[in-house]
Amino acid sequence: MSHQHTGQRELFESRPQWVEDDDRRGTVATVVLPDGVDKPLDYLVPEQLAGDVEPGRRVRVPLGRANRLRLAYCVAVRHGELPQTPLKSVAGVEDEQPLLSRRMLELTAWMAERWMARWGEVLEAVLPAGVRLSRKVRVAPLLVATGALPARKPTPAQAKVLAAATQPQTADALAEATGASRAVVHRLVKLGLLAAAGEVERPRQAAAVERPRVNHDRPDELSPAQADALEAIRRPMREARHETVVLFGVTGSGKTEVYLQAVEETITYGRQAIVLVPEISLTPQTCDRFRARFGAVAVLHSHLTPAERHAQWREIAAGRVGVVVGARSAVFAPTPRLGLIVIDEEHESSFKQGTAPRYHARDVAEWIARAENVPLVLGSATPSLETFARCLAGDWRMCRLPGRVGGSQLPAVITVDLRDRSSRSKGAVSPRLAAGIRWALESGGQVMLLLNRRGFATHVQCQGCGHTVRCPQCDLALTLHQPGNRGICHGCGLVSRLPADCPECHAPGLVHRGTGTQRLEEQIRGTFPDAAVARMDTDTMRSRGSHERTLDAFRDRRIDILVGTQMIAKGLDFPAVMLVGVVNADAALHLADFRAAERTCQLVTQVAGRSGRGPLGGRVVVQTSTPDHPAIRAAAAHDYEAFVRNELPVREALLYPPYGSIVRFVVRSLDDRAAADWTGHIADRLRAAAAGDAAIRILGPAPAPIERLRDRFRWHVQVHGPDGPALRDLVRRATAGLKTPDTIAWIIDVDPVEML
């Protein structure tokens, strides 16, 4: 029988819990299974394995009556008296070295408590798949161009490989990307033009291999606000202590330059820096700037193969990489000499993982930075309310960068009230927005139009009976996509041919209602036939590199008007943009999500900041049916803080984050009744566990805002409380011993960012 632990925290304390019996001394390993069993289990370590079983390595252990061998993570080893109940023995050791440091084990245990996940699934989540492969897999070194001058002129195939090797990659990946043979790659290694990433000493000449970019050379002097912010980061760095520094500055205020110089300082101390960005493919400019400044940068993006990722991991773990840039999971990069963590666009919801373990990278980064005594830098033009509250409470230091570098003015914002008849037009573009586009084009500028709905029409409706065509397996209206008159469900992706007649009343002539980016693009082409128009959304950006190609074309002025979803709002810096149009600012405002107003204000503020970054100045036109909403008003006034001041008391009154914690249960079932009943059962248990505690609020059971997805009915219940740990204890008590019926699937999301 295996001995079960009651908690995870106690593993790191060396309290003896074994019985006093001199004959019964031995070595005990505590292991965690990646799935199946929730609790850590104890196993006896046989003498012949004693040297190999250590925390952070994986071991094989017998499980269950049949004693089937399972792979498990060893999380603790203790010598001493054995417990009275006999233990099974560890059968073998999988890894030659620990995959996880003691710190990572502590971190993962904390994450499991913080987000109510199983420790095993957290352990799996922090290790990339390639790292978890069996040890028999050999790892190819990452190659990168050394920047050395070739003696002889490279052959065309060689030149192609060299151009592609600006970023560390395996020989196989290089060969595949360029169509060259392996022999060409190996020849370049022989010639000293390619080398293992860790062996490249001098930063490469980025300009020689990369397309010309907007000039982001290191400026001679920082602005006073930048200098203050940099000093706020250097102070804890010098004193080897942790502090969280928030850079609150409009787009173009020079935040990235501050990150770059803070990273530079980190490297001079011989330390490593981790820089998190919301999504690599959406922030190519930020990544380029880090590469151009530092050369050997490990960019962890989602296109890496498991083997490539493993190779990057090893380079980082060996301390050969000074800077790691990546999305959410790069926070787990195994830096042996961490000196700094930066999170750019810290308000972005992509820093929260949508699947278990549903962790938030901002909180993980804070835990790590605190444990390592290094600064954490968070930057945004629109910091999350969580971050604002921490600054107001005095936990974190806020540095404001109020103006744009070089003093260019923030653009004037005009709101167009869509309720006003005179501002309406046949299409989605009001006369004032059209006039603004004309003004920008005639002044020689470019235009960006944001519409956060893809497809042609947002729904298809019968004129006779009002019936809306819905997805057969979800509770969502089908979006019309052209060409081909396809109905696509944005919930499950199902594609179906739209009927010609109403499926309800059989009247002919379904009408296309609501405008998506496809239709907007068509309208814009019709109204501005001489302008070059392109569209950027997930439909047009499916192939690899398409995003970069479109942005390059826009930068080179081969595109005059760029239509797109929120993709166009992120981290882009185009000086010739003179007009930004927000086609429907309310699109997300009325979602059943307490963050709807915050998101709307952030999106409109962010996209508005794309206008007028050059000497010609710029304007923003915001179309809205609720011009008086605090989120819209604040964004239009470039006064995000006004929105924060308005919104924080609302959150406080309702115990929403940042003033309270939420645990959300989402229950799914093919059977609506079963889902409702089970959610009710959970709600009853929560109410019983809360036992009339007035500080606890329980909302639900209720159908989730998206009531049905992929044939599954969805219900939810939320519990709010002022204190996170106490709330999670309550939830643990309420769900202890819960036996889930086979027909039901349910998840727990702690402090969710997604409420649909």
Binding to Zn ion by CB under 5 A, coded x per residue (else -) over 493-512, reads -x------------------
Distance between CA atoms of 576 and 554, rounded to whole angstroms? 10
User: What is the total residue count of the chain?
Assistant: 756
Q: Does 108 bind ligand ADP (CB under 6 A)?
A: no
In contact, 739 and 725? CB cutoff 8 Å: no
Among 146, 170, 226, 515, binds ligand ADP (CB under 6 A): 226
Distance between CA atoms of 229 and 660, rounded to whole angstroms? 30
Burial class for 302, CB neighbours closer than 10 Å (0-12, 13-18, 19+): exposed
Kindly identify the residues of this chain, within the stretch 227-256, that bind ligand ADP according to CB under 6 A: 249, 251-256
Given ligand ADP, Zn ion, none, residue 145, with its beta carbon under 5 to 8 Å by kind, binds: none
In contact, 252 and 405? CB cutoff 8 Å: yes
* Nearest approach, Cβ of residue 362 and ligand ADP (Å): 18
Residue 165 has a CB neighbour count (10 Å cut-off) of 27
In angstroms, the Cα distances linking 668 to 473, 475, 684 are 13, 13, 18
Enumerate residues 6+ apart whose C-beta is below 8 A from 81. 16, 18, 19, 20, 21, 22, 24, 25
In contact, 290 and 280? CB cutoff 8 Å: no
* Nearest approach, Cβ of residue 611 and ligand ADP (Å): 13
Given Zn ion, ligand ADP, none, residue 223, with its beta carbon under 5 to 8 Å by kind, binds: ligand ADP
Whose Cβ is closer to ligand ADP: residue 288's or residue 366's? 288
Whose Cβ is closer to Zn ion: residue 44's or residue 494's? 494
Given Zn ion, ligand ADP, none, residue 357, with its beta carbon under 5 to 8 Å by kind, binds: none
Residues in binding contact with Zn ion, number by CB under 5 A: 7
Binding to ligand ADP by CB under 6 A, coded x per residue (else -) over 66-105, reads ----------------------------------------
The residue among 290, 333, 288, 286 whose CA lies nearest residue 309 is 333
Cα-based angle 238, 242, 246 (whole degrees, multiple of 5) = 100
Return the CA Rg of the chain: 28
Q: Does 223 bind ligand ADP (CB under 6 A)?
A: yes
Structure-derived torsion over alpha carbons of residues 170, 173, 177, 181, reported in degrees to the nearest 10? 90
Alpha helices in 151-283 (DSSP H): 156-164, 171-178, 182-190, 206-209, 224-238, 255-268
Query: Is beta strand 323-326 parallel, antiparallel or unpaired with respect to 272-276?
Result: parallel
Residue tagged 């908690």 (tokens): 7
Among 7, 86, 219, 508, binds ligand ADP (CB under 6 A): 219
Kindly identify the residues of this chain, within the stretch 157-216, that bind ligand ADP according to CB under 6 A: 216
Binding to ligand ADP by CB under 6 A, coded x per residue (else -) over 441-460, reads --------------------
Binding to ligand ADP by CB under 6 A, coded x per residue (else -) over 396-415, reads ---------x----------
Given Zn ion, ligand ADP, none, residue 492, with its beta carbon under 5 to 8 Å by kind, binds: Zn ion
In contact, 176 and 170? CB cutoff 8 Å: no
* Nearest approach, Cβ of residue 541 and Zn ion (Å): 22
Given Zn ion, ligand ADP, none, residue 658, with its beta carbon under 5 to 8 Å by kind, binds: none
Q: And the tokens for 295?
A: 């050369």
Whose Cβ is closer to ligand ADP: residue 256's or residue 452's? 256
Binding to Zn ion by CB under 5 A, coded x per residue (else -) over 455-494, reads ----------------x-xx--------------x-xx-x
Helix axes 102-114, 361-372, angle to 10 degrees: 140
Given Zn ion, ligand ADP, none, residue 494, with its beta carbon under 5 to 8 Å by kind, binds: Zn ion
Binding to ligand ADP by CB under 6 A, coded x per residue (else -) over 262-301, reads ----------------------------------------
Phi, psi at residue 502, to the nearest 5°? -65, 125
Whose Cβ is closer to ligand ADP: residue 2's or residue 223's? 223
Residue tagged 């699947």 (tokens): 355
Among 81, 95, 243, 257, binds ligand ADP (CB under 6 A): 257
Residues lying near Zn ion in the complex (CB under 5 A) are found at 471, 473-474, 489, 491-492, 494
Residues lying near ligand ADP in the complex (CB under 6 A) are found at 216, 219, 221-223, 226, 249, 251-257, 405, 573
